[in-house]
Amino acid sequence: MSNNIVKSKTFDASLISYDEPKANSMGGKSIKVLYDGRAFKAQTPIMQTWGVTRRLDSDGVTTKGFDMSLRFDPSDRKSHKRFKQMCIDIQEKLIEDGIKIVLSGLERQLRVENW
* Residue pLDDT, tens place only, 40-72: 999 988 888 778 888 888 888 888 888 888 887
Residues of 32-41 as b/e, b for ≥16 C-beta within 10 angstroms?
eeebeeeebe
**Residue 24 in this model has a pLDDT that exceeds 90:** no
Rounded to the nearest 5°, which phi and psi values hold at 6? -90, 130
**Residue 88 in this model has a pLDDT that exceeds 90:** yes
Q: What is the mean pLDDT of residues 94-108?
A: 86
Q: What does the domain layout of the chain look like in residue ranges?
A: 5-44+75-113
pTM higher than 0.85 for the full model? no
Angle at 23 between CA 34 and CA 16, to 5 degrees: 15
**Which residue type sits at 105?**
G
Q: What is the mean pLDDT of residues 5-34?
A: 90
pLDDT, mean over the chain: 86
